[in-house]
Amino acid sequence: MIVLGYNGFTRGAELFGRLFGATGVDRNGLVGHDAAAALVVDGELVAAVEEERLSRVKKTSDFPERAIAWCLETAGLGLDDVDVFAFPWRFSEAVGEEMIAEIADGGLPVAAKFDALRRTGELYTGMLSPEAVHADFVERTGYALDPNRLALVPHHLAHLMCGAYLAGGGDAAFVVSDGRAEALSSVMGELRGGVVHLLDGTSVPMTSSLGVAYGRITRYLGFVPNNDEYKVMGLAAYGPPPRRNPLLDAVVRLRENGAYTIDIPRDPTAYYALFDRLFGCGGGSGAREEFDFRVKVAGMAQHMAETVTSHQVRALTAASGLDTLLFEGGLALNCVANTKMLERSSFTGMEVSFGASDPGVAIGAAVRTAGLRNRPADAVTTPYLGPSYDEAHIREALEEYGDRVTWQEEPDAASVTARTAELLAEKNVVGWFQGRAEFGPRALGNRSILANPAFPDIKDVINLRVKHREPFRPFAPVVLASEAPRVFEMGKKASSPYMTFVFPVREEYRSRIPGACHVDGTARIQTVDDRQNPPLAELLRAFTARTDVPCLLNTSFNVAGEPIVCSPRDALECFLTTEIDHLVIDRFVVTKKGH
């Protein structure tokens, strides 16, 4: 059976901009963001790519025309060969009725209710309804798809199925939490024998979304919601945990069964005024963006997220006798909260996939529709599912930029490893481009920027001269899975291949890898081994043998505001517009002319 999952709406940005006043990245940040496609053939996930990697529009919510075409082309298939197309949203008539009722029963004046119904009605009929989804596919592909070959999968179920499949299947308790699905923002329950059991009364409506609440604080601090929440998470580490959190006093109400309500106004003017009062800000936007104030508020936002998710897990623990916890959805990218959730719970294991946020719902919709409860027993769980480029493509790109770069062609993989380790032993920043592109926001290794964490100021070098981003941002180290417990306090985790957990750096290593330590002495690590990424594992061995440094700094190969590079040309463009010292692309070690 061949199933292609995809996520994205042609009219999303246009409708959210025109009907709801969304601008910039916000137009892509409500429904359908992180558009992607994924292909499952006879039970195996063979290809997946985010549309932004190909279109070069970050966080795009557009119909993933390029991603669908690439997935089929790489498998040698056409649209006729696909048995079912799976879409990770199901705005059924019942959901439509809920949307109408929410407006009708709300506290708006009558005229405002009619206006909200008009706008929501246009959004539903023009984009969200099953008929609109089918029409969008036909229009963008030019393919007369039989509606019976289009499966609509509820959004949270797609999240859950992505995590379950990539974790290898098996019974598990689960929490799914994000900004919004069709009508809910969070669900929890158990997955037993491939059957989903939701815990009664624990689902959280969209109006009390923890993800939306965190996003509103993100906007309040001058960042972009649904995009920059990780900045807030990073800032929180610069201050102590709050002794008193006014968010928990004023807007959050925890329920006994693990549910909760969060009461924050929708209108930015109203919630800015609320936050000014709660956080003690009387100086307007300038004061909100002062570093110390941002740290204080970020700490409260992070504490709120940790408190609410831990509350859910406590209730889930009491209701479930299972040992493993699956956590999926946008909130699962909060790696600081993830570690605390696991360590403070009775669960012995916790899995967060590399597709935990919305890129992964394309995978989840596909595997759900294919009827897969588990991945094949001998399959390697890998995020390296995207495009790769042969030597001819790489040479062509190098020749195109030949007036600006020089390169040395190494004879074999061993020589590439040795030369790269030699460069990284010094204070060089190296772009590392190998094999197939990664999928999702929490897996690197084939499109990475690497550096030596032994240099205390290397974070500043990369943040300011390469990534063009805020100096408070930390970097994640990549380490061999076999070495990780020696360098980091891993707690219940044996490995962490997708940078979805943080761990304290052992005291004896903090002075040896200062560039890999965040201000609080932790690191969001990525572990690798020979099965998952042989070239990177070999590079780590060679680098450690040369330097006695047990890990490398590992950040995404892009600059702020741009998608991670996908093609050789993308890599060369990024290399030439930053102060990256060297680019290692397949067997070619590239240097800027005059460097």
For residues 68 and 6, the answer to whether their CB atoms sit within 8 Å is yes
Element (H, E) at 569: helix 568-576
Rounded to two decimals, what is the model's pTM?
Answer: 0.95
CA proximity to 304, closest of 219, 216, 227, 222 = 216
Closest Cα partner for 46 from 91, 1, 111?
1
What are the backbone dihedrals phi and psi of residue 262, each rounded to the nearest 5 degrees, phi first?
-130, 120
Cβ(4)–Cβ(77) below 8 Å: no
Is 33 annotated as catalytic?
yes
Residue count of the chain: 595
Give kind and range of the element (H or E) at residue 536. helix 534-547
Tokens of 530: 């020979």
Residue 377 is predicted with a pLDDT of: 57
Q: Dihedral through CA 457, CA 463, CA 464, CA 468, nearest 10?
A: 170
Q: Taking a C-beta distance cutoff of 8 angstroms, is the pair 458, 477 a contact?
A: no
Name the strand (E) or helix (H) holding 350.
Answer: strand 349-351
Q: How far is Cα 32 from Cα 170, in angstroms, rounded to an integer?
A: 29
Q: What is the CA radius of gyration of the chain?
A: 24
Tokens of 281: 């800000």
**pLDDT tens-digit map of 364-377:** 999 999 987 666 65
Q: Which pLDDT score is estimated for 441?
A: 85
In DSSP notation, 202-265 reads --EEGGG-HHHHHHHHHHHTTS-TTTSHHHHHHHHTTSPPPSS-HHHHHTEEE-TTS-EEE---
Domains of the chain with bracketed CATH: 2-160 (3.30.420.40), 168-352 (3.30.420.40), 391-592 (3.90.870.20)
Alpha helices in 426-506 (DSSP H): 458-461, 484-487
pLDDT value of residue 24: 66
pLDDT at 157: 97
pLDDT reported for residue 185: 96
Give me 270's structure tokens: 């109203």
Mean pLDDT for all residues in the chain: 93
CB distance 413 to 419 below 8 Å: no
Q: Which residue, among 338, 328, 386, has the nearest Cα to 358 in the 3D structure?
A: 328
> Within the chain, which residues score under 50 in pLDDT?
none
End-to-end C-alpha distance for the chain, whole angstroms: 52
* Distance (Å, whole) CA 463 – CA 472: 9
Catalytic residue chosen out of the listed positions 33, 159, 303, 518: 33
pLDDT recorded at residue 378: 60
Picking from 464, 465, 462, 467, the residue whose alpha carbon sits closest to that of residue 451 is 462
The one-character DSSP state at 101 is H
| Residue 146 to residue 126: CA distance in whole angstroms | 20
In the prediction, which pLDDT does 491 show? Answer: 96
Evaluate whether 332 touches 356 at the Cβ level (below 8 Å): yes
Q: What confidence tens digit (pLDDT) does each residue in 390-414 have?
A: 999 999 999 999 999 999 999 999 9
